[in-house]
């Protein structure tokens, strides 16, 4: 398959994606969303100027940019796009599918006039400097589905918010809102996997009262076990490590093989003593044991306990997905000024990531296209395990080098000149010796 044909098929799949996922959209809104998705994919950026250059239509760029900006100010757009993507993605969620939840942020360090811009923690700088570094930006959260131990993620939700916006009630409220929307779309299916940020009473109350399964890493709290109240770190040190295993993972380009041991015990939360939970303790990743609280059934067998450990280790896939969104689509390059446009752009980035990671490759024909797009990306090294980068590079190259959003096809067949009706009479050509062949 040559490069031009790959580009043509990729563009056809984008049109197919719009027709199947956004069926309830009006024609003007569907056209706007399709143009934005094409522009984000082709430019690898969220700046409107970059999207306009990628669209490359015959209208003056300033008019196209104003039209996109005007449509981006629609307060109903974010909910409509997010709901459409979530509805399609929820079809891949089963009862044992992991719902990976991870807070994130976009940094706008030198932006002071963006609407409701607030202070966020710069995670990368904070980890390097060993202290909390606060910069201007917006808070966010992403949810992706993944099977335990799997490589592929399905982006389900991506939302931004500001602590200075009207009606803001707190981070717990925003995150729970997203989790509830995901569960509403999946019909209650899925197991929430959350890092230490999920160790909050508000989350446990929602999970337990609504019978939602979860795996949460504990920071440190008191739980009921062995007939009394105990601090989890003390329990972890006393837990019997019945099983051992080797975990292989990639760290800074090097393959690491770490031996771990793990065990489990029954515990209860003081605020919900009626619900039996299990504490799975893992040793080997550091000096302190890793403590996982889960509502899933756990017994003394290797299989039941490894299911929890493997489920939590799969959580790293959500961090890869967030990194992919920021790097491949310039998520932190958002330059729109109003709060509505910022949130709408986040939903369009979600749809772009869903198209690249899920829609391309959903069936056999699209898998073939994904392989060609990966080749078209012309990566210097091998395709990584998280192949979305290679596919996104291939789509960008296809859209920019071998195809335009508006293509003028030259008509190779010359149009017959208009002629008076008398010239159509029988014998007229012979009378004037006109060659009609």
Q: What does pLDDT average to over the chain?
A: 86
Lowest mean pLDDT segment, chosen from 63-72, 174-183, 186-195, 368-377: 368-377
**Architecture of domain 80-320 in this structure:** Alpha-Beta Complex (3.90)
Q: How far apart, in whole angstroms, are the C-alpha atoms of residue 107 and residue 101? A: 20
- How far CA 194 is from CA of 77, 174, 225, 238, 416, in Å, comes to 28, 15, 23, 24, 69
- Helix or strand or coil: residue 348? helix
Residues 6+ apart with CB under 8 A from 22: 30, 33, 81, 84
Q: How confident is the model at residue 427 (pLDDT cuts 50, 70, 90)?
A: very low
Q: What would the two tokens of residue 411 be?
A: 């008509």
Q: What is the pLDDT of residue 413?
A: 36
Q: How confident is the model at residue 145 (pLDDT cuts 50, 70, 90)?
A: very high
pLDDT tens-digit series, residues 366-393: 555 556 556 555 444 444 455 687 778 8
Q: What is the pLDDT of residue 247?
A: 87
pLDDT tens-digit series, residues 207-222: 999 999 999 999 989 9
Q: How far apart, in whole angstroms, are the C-alpha atoms of residue 276 and residue 121? A: 35
**Best CA proximity match to 214, nearest among 183, 184, 250:** 183
Q: How far apart, in whole angstroms, are the C-alpha atoms of residue 294 and residue 276? A: 9
Looking at the chain, the domain(s) classified CATH 3.90.350.10 span 80-320
pLDDT tens-digit series, residues 261-297: 999 999 999 999 999 999 999 999 888 999 999 999 9
Q: What is the pLDDT of residue 434?
A: 42
């Amino acid at each position: 398959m040559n490069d031009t044909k790959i580009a043509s098929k990729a563009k056809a799949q984008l049109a197919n994606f719009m027709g199947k996922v956004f069926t309830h959209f009006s024609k003007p809104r569907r056209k706007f969303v399709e143009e934005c998705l094409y522009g984000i994919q082709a430019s690898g950026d969220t700046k409107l100027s970059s999207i306009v250059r990628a669209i490359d239509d015959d209208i003056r760029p300033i008019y196209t940019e104003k039209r996109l900006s005007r449509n981006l100010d629609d307060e109903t757009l974010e909910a409509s796009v997010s709901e459409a993507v979530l509805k399609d993605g929820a079809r891949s969620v089963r009862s044992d599918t992991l719902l990976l939840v991870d807070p994130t942020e976009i940094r706008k360090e030198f932006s002071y006039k963006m609407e409701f811009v607030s202070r966020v923690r710069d995670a990368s700088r904070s980890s390097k400097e060993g202290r909390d570094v606060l910069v201007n930006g917006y808070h966010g959260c992403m949810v992706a589905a993944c099977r335990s131990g799997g490589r592929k993620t399905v982006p389900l939700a991506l939302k931004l918010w500001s602590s200075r916006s009207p009606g803001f009630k707190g981070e717990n409220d925003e995150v729970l809102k997203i989790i509830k929307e995901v569960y509403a779309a999946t019909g209650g299916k899925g197991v929430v996997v959350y890092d230490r940020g999920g160790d909050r009473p508000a989350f446990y109350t929602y999970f337990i009262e609504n019978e939602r399964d979860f795996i949460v890493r504990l920071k440190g709290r008191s739980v009921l076990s062995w007939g009394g109240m105990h601090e989890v770190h003390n329990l972890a040190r006393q837990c019997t490590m019945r099983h051992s295993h080797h975990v292989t993972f990639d760290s800074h380009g090097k393959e690491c093989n770490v031996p771990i041991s793990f065990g489990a015990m029954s515990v209860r939360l003081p605020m919900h003593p009626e619900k039996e939970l299990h504490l799975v303790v893992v040793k080997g990743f550091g000096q302190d044991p890793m403590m996982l609280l889960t509502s899933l059934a756990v017994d003394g067998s290797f299989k039941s306990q490894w299911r929890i450990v493997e489920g939590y280790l799969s959580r790293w896939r959500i961090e890869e997905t967030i990194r992919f969104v920021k790097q491949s689509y310039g998520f932190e390059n958002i330059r729109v000024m109003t709060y509505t446009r910022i949130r709408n752009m986040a939903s369009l980035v979600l749809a772009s990531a869903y198209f690249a990671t899920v829609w391309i490759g959903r069936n056999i024909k699209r898998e073939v296209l994904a392989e060609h797009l990966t080749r078209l990306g012309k990566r210097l090294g091998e395709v990584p395990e998280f192949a979305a980068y290679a596919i996104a590079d291939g789509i960008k190259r296809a859209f920019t080098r071998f195809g335009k959003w508006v293509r003028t096809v030259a008509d190779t067949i010359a149009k017959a000149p208009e002629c008076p009706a008398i010239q159509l009479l029988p014998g007229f050509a012979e009378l004037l010796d006109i060659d009609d062949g």
